[in-house]
Each structure stands twice: as C-alpha cells, then as structure tokens.
Amino acid sequence: MENKAVAFIKSNEWFKSAMVGHGTHNGYVAVPPGNKYHRMSYFDIDDISVHGGITFSEPVMSGEESIGSKRKINPKYVGKRNPILDDAEFITDNTEIGDDWWIFGFDTFHHGDDEYNWDKQIVIQETMYLMEQLCPTT
C-alpha cells in the first residue's frame, strides 16, 4: 500500500429536498498515520482553507463516538470501516485506504450552494485542493 493520501467524492443524490440547495457531491481526503493532521478534529484545524471549512473528521475504523461532533456512532458501524467509504468515487490513482487512516471532508450544503456552482468537476477541484493542503508532498 502506498503511503500517500487518497481523495474521493460522494454523491449528494441521497439528499432530495427542494427546501435546501446543495451541490452535487461532497469531497473527502484520507491520510495515513504520520500525517500531521491524523487523528485531529476539524474543530482544531485552522490552517486549511476549503469551501465552507472542513466539516468531517473521522477515523477509517468507526469508534463508539464521532471525533468531530462527539455524537454517538450507530452500534452497527462500531469497529467497522466508516460508511462514508461506501460508494466512494475515487479521484486519485491511489485507492488503498488503511484501517488506521483518517478521513477529512467538506460539504456543499452551505447557503448559496447548488448543482450549478458546486457541480462534480468543481467539487473534484476543491477536493484536490484540500488534499494538497493536508499533504503538501503528495
């Protein structure tokens, strides 16, 4: 397994509400142990600039409590790979994510976000920008 970051996006197709505008996808970057941000909550990261800020910070293997929000994890996911990896659409050549890795992400559910200004291609670009900041040498 290569020891570098993996970037992926997830479709927002699951969220169908005419009441809330949103982009077509959210973006995520998984980093290996040894990365300076590994195991950090997004509340503690202030030197990364990404659309709306980092809104997701979780281990690949789900524990009993969310690191970022301190919410309890559904017991069916505890000790299993994070469900955010289900149906991930990888945008890096490297797709191997170790169980001891950490995932960071941003969403496109902010005021003014829609499928036109946050389409798949723009989300891919922003996700790659996030990866460059999390792993400057990747």
The domains of the chain are located at 6-134
Choice between 13 and 133, residue whose per-residue pLDDT is larger = 133
Chain segment 77-127, per-residue pLDDT in tens: 778 899 899 999 999 999 999 999 999 999 998 888 998 999 999 999 999
Which value, in Å, is the radius of gyration of the alpha carbons in the chain?
Answer: 14
Query: d(Cα 85, Cα 30) in Å, to the nearest integer?
Result: 10
pTM: 0.88
Choice between 113 and 62, residue whose per-residue pLDDT is larger = 113
Choice between 117 and 68, residue whose per-residue pLDDT is larger = 117
- For residue 11, the model assigns a pLDDT of 92
- For residue 64, the model assigns a pLDDT of 67
Residue with tokens 């941000």: 37
Write the CA distances from 51 to 32, 45, 64, 111, 114, integer angstroms. 23, 14, 28, 12, 13
